[in-house]
């Protein structure tokens, strides 16, 4: 068990391009969360899954954002037509037995 793994660690893209991030949760963790964090702020909830079902989506998650968790294992977060305001750290977390475990995040920079 190596913890929650996120790839890539850093992503630099040009405005208007699509990007996709991957999260591999800790095995046996049935809940998976996506958060976004900007510099100097606390994380903001985006969405969460229980197994493969996406149960909740924040209003922050515009229609340019889509998250999936096929087969209830890894998850992907895609941002289409990126904007400079999308620049942030995207954090994934999984939970089991009362504890939430975060990955190290993907730092997105949109130029």
Do 95 and 101 touch, CB atoms closer than 8 A?
yes
Shortest reach from residue 104's CB to another protein, in Å:
5
Which is nearer to another protein, 17 or 104 (by Cβ)? 104
Task: For residue 72, give the 3-state DSSP assignment.
Answer: helix
Q: Is 21 in the site for another protein (CB under 8 A)?
A: no
Which is nearer to another protein, 44 or 52 (by Cβ)? 44
Instruction: Tell me the CB-side half-sphere exposure of residue 2, using CA atoms within 13 A.
Output: 5
Please give the size of the binding site for another protein, defined by CB under 8 A: 23
**CA 1 to CA 3: how far, in whole Å?**
6
Chain positions contacting another protein, by CB under 8 A: 4, 31, 33, 40-45, 48, 55-56, 91, 93, 95, 98-105
């Amino acid at each position: 068990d190596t913890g929650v793994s996120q790839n890539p660690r850093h992503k630099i893209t040009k405005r208007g391009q699509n990007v996709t991030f991957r999260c591999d949760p800790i095995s046996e963790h049935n809940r998976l969360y996506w958060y976004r964090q900007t510099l100097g702020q606390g994380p903001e909830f985006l969405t969460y899954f229980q197994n493969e079902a996406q149960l909740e989506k924040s209003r922050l998650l515009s229609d340019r954002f889509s998250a999936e968790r096929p087969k209830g294992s890894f998850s992907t977060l895609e941002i289409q037509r990126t904007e400079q305001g999308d620049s942030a750290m995207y954090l994934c977390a999984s939970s089991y037995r009362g504890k939430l475990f975060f990955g190290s995040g993907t730092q997105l920079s949109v130029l």
